[in-house]
Homo-oligomer: A and B are copies of this chain.
Amino acid sequence: MEVLGTNDVFRCFLFYAVILVLKMFAVAVIVGQMRLRRKAFANPEDAVRHGGLRFHREDPYVERCRRAHLNDVENILPFLFLGAVYSMTRPSPGVARLHFLVFLLARVLHSAAYLLAWRAPTRSGAYILAQVPCVSMAVQILMVVWPYA
């Protein structure tokens, strides 16, 4: 069977990558649920449907959830690219899994710290921790491809 190639590191990466995409989608769902619960809508047509134009307003907690989601977009999407390419540079499977696992755990911690407003610098520490495997993968890719630039 050759579904998704014959590269076990790539398949391992895909597991972590898809879990992270689903985690990102979950934060987006939380944004929507919070808009409904706090009655704070970015669009007047939504406010009208849910009680009136006075609910076309900002809410601090909804904005917090939005920042958490946007931070996911800014960081998880580049990981999808870096991780896929890094998986094809023949890394040690154990080292590769460590990269993916650190990123996953750090981003889950980041979301928890953001949504629950944990004391600083938990959230920014998780952000920095998640960047470590990303920068590591970027450097390792560059070491392979720089002669082709």
Binding site for B on A (CB under 8 A): 3-5, 8, 11-12, 14-19, 21-22, 24-25, 28, 32, 42-46, 48-50, 64, 67, 69-70, 73-74, 77-78, 80-82, 85, 88-90, 114, 117-121, 123-124, 131, 134-135, 138, 141-142, 144-146, 148-149
Contacts and interface: CB of A to CB of B under 8 A. Distances in A.
Given A5-B88, A88-B3, A149-B15, A138 B22 contact: yes
Nearest to A42: B67
A78 B4 contact: no
Number of copies: 3
Given A3-B144, A15-B142, 16 more contacts: A3-B89, A11-B145, A12-B149, A14-B85, A17-B85, A18-B85, A21-B78, A21-B138, A24-B78, A25-B134, A43-B114, A43-B117, A45-B118, A69-B74, A73-B74, A77-B78
